[in-house]
């Protein structure tokens, strides 16, 4: 079931750029709060991307956490204090038609810190998808 209090939205970044959708407060305020996987998940959803037509390129979305109460965000696998393991979605381009609409469910991993965000990166030679709205929502299992 979708938790309406846990919702972020934004537009895809321009080619060669990144955006950070944040903060999404899961109520985890302490570093290394828990080493257990949590019930529920975070859903990243996107509309059809008609300009994402190069099958050799991926738009990526990476779960980020914050060790300083949301002042900065870090992605997994970038140090022992960062979110481990890395949780990443890749949306490949599709020749001719562009990428179809879809979603990916992100698990909420152990050792997550503070609020979370979603770092979305578009390839530098990708098409313009800046008018496409993405959502990042919390769900209970």
pLDDT digits over 100-131, tens only? 999 999 988 877 777 889 999 999 988 899 99
The 41-46 sheet, strands edge to edge: 2-11, 133-139, 41-46, 102-107
Cα dihedral 136/11/117/125 (nearest 10) = 120
DSSP string, 75-100: ETTSSTTS-SS--EEEEE--TTT-BP
d(CA 99, CA 125) in angstroms, rounded, equals: 15
Q: Give 109's DSSP letter.
A: -
Percent over 90 (pLDDT), the chain:
53
What would the pLDDT profile of 45-95 be if each residue is shown by its tens digit?
A: 999 999 999 999 999 999 998 878 888 888 875 555 555 667 899 999 999
Between residues 29 and 27, which one has the greater pLDDT?
27
d(CA 138, CA 100) in angstroms, rounded, equals: 22
| pTM exceeds cut of 0.85 | yes
pLDDT at 38 exceeding the cut of 80: no
Q: Confirm if 129 and 9 have CB atoms less than 8 A apart.
A: no
Give the per-residue pLDDT at 58. Answer: 96
Confidence of residue 3 (pLDDT cuts 50, 70, 90): confident
The residue extents of the domains of the chain are 9-126
Q: Confirm if 20 and 118 have CB atoms less than 8 A apart.
A: yes
CA contacts within 13 A on the Cβ side of 71: 3
């Amino acid at each position: 079931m979708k938790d309406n209090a846990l919702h972020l939205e934004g537009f895809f970044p321009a080619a060669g750029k990144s955006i950070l959708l944040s903060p999404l407060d899961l109520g985890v305020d302490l570093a290394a709060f828990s080493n257990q996987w949590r019930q529920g998940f975070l859903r990243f959803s996107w509309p059809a991307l008609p300009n994402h037509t190069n099958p050799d390129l991926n738009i990526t979305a990476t779960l980020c956490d914050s060790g300083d109460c949301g002042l900065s965000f870090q992605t997994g696998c970038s140090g022992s204090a960062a979110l481990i393991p890395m949780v990443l979605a890749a949306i490949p381009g599709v020749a001719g038609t562009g990428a179809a609409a879809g979603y990916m469910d992100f698990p909420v991993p152990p050792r997550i810190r503070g609020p979370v965000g979603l770092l979305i990166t578009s390839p530098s030679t990708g098409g313009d998808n800046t008018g496409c709205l993405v959502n990042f929502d919390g769900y209970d299992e």
